[in-house]
Homo-oligomer: A and B are copies of this chain.
Amino acid sequence: MAQLPTVDDVAERAGVSRQTVSNVLNSPGIVREGTRLRVESAIAELGYRPHASARRLRTRQSSTIGVRLDPISNGISGSVLDRYLHALTEQADARGMRIMLFTAVDEDDEIRHYERLRDGADVDAFVLTGTRYDDPRIEWLARERMPFVAFGRPWGSAPLDDPERLWVDVDGQAGLRMATEHLIGRGHRRIGYLGWPAGSGTGDDRRRGWELAMASAFGSTAEDLAGLATETDEGVPTARRAIETLVRTRDDLEALVCASDSLALGAMMAVREAGMPHFPVFGFDNTPVAQAVGLSSVDQRLADVASGTFELLMGATGRRVLPHGFPAGDDPRHRLITPQLVVRRSSHLEPVEEAGGTTSGDHEPTEKEQST
């Protein structure tokens, strides 16, 4: 073949005009059935495919969503973003959209990329990750009226239901509450919490889930809780040292829930070294590592997060990005996804037979689940 076929080639073959071919593709409803079939078979015979750039130029839409790939995959939890990215890509495929990546060294650089990608009409919208208090990126996007959705609540000064700030997030509070209640159901009372220093919205929210579960089951006071909680920066070695200290000072501790799998992994290592190989530990994120080492965890349901992202961007079934600030109908401006417990060996008191198979190869959190 000399050249790729165009709408004109298809039109000629089907004995209709350009525009009719275009209509068959974009608004099949307004074309008479006979014509439509004729055009469709011409398309099939010629193997015609619309030229994406030409369409984008004319429609002024790129059907592309920009995502920044963070500079450093942050330790073992970094895989959360990677899995989210994967789920996003699948959703994008289903909606006729594409995901374009870019990198940036810091937030200002990221904003410069926003400008460049917007002005070049490269992307219709952005998806943000790793949001923080009063994130300047969100401010910029809202001010410029650029469509976007943040993965992670925009904790900060603006109200969470601000219609200009769309977000999707995982209900970490519910997740930790579920994990804690699971342990309570297995008969534990003195359940500790290992989290990050106060001040990160995400971390504070997760801790609150543990606190609520403890308070509602045992009426624990703030003092009780403070004695059972430890805070440390993210990382396996830091968690390990923190728990080594904790188990020395609190030898009545029966179990532990953690704000992340990294922390939980460090904690697991510490309790095993301390001669308590079956001390129950719960992580958060359900990373591949948790799966590999048999760590119970809380799965973020990233597929649901991704489909929520697209619902906010494009409406329930829309094929194009909605203008900034105008989600379809009365849709709420956010999605809060309830995560799912994944119970593995690490949260059982008794040793688990080594037969294996229960934790190998599986990827979906189906081993044993408990919702809400």
Contacts and interface: CB of A to CB of B under 8 A. Distances in A.
A235 B292 contact: yes
* A99, A101, A238, A266: most-surrounded residue (chain B CB, <10 A): A101
B75 A292 contact: yes
Contact of A292 (B4, B64, B265): B265
Contact of A237 (B64, B101, B289, B360): B360
A89 interface: yes
A124 to B, nearest CB: 12
Given A51-B120, A238-B360, A292-B235, A86 B73 contact: yes
Contacts of A4: 119
A319 interface: no
Copies assembled = 2
B82 A356 contact: no
Interface in A218-262: 235-238, 241, 262
A145 interface: no
Given A93-B102, A100-B98, A76 B288 contact: yes
Given A57-B53, A238-B356, A292 B262 contact: yes
A103 interface: yes
A269 B293 contact: yes
A54 B57 contact: yes
A194 to B, nearest CB: 15
Contacts of A52: 62, 120-122
Contact of A241 (B47, B79, B294, B354): B354
A179 B356 CA distance: 30
Given A49-B120, A116-B49, A359 B292 contact: no
A134 to B, nearest CB: 25
A2 interface: no
A18 interface: no
Contact of A82 (B53, B62, B82, B241): B82
15 contacts: A49-B119, A49-B120, A51-B121, A56-B56, A57-B57, A71-B86, A73-B82, A73-B288, A76-B289, A76-B292, A79-B82, A92-B101, A101-B101, A236-B293, A266-B292
Query: 9 closest A-B pairs (Cβ-Cβ)?
Result: A236-B292, A49-B119, A52-B120, A53-B56, A53-B57, A82-B82, A99-B101, A237-B356, A89-B101
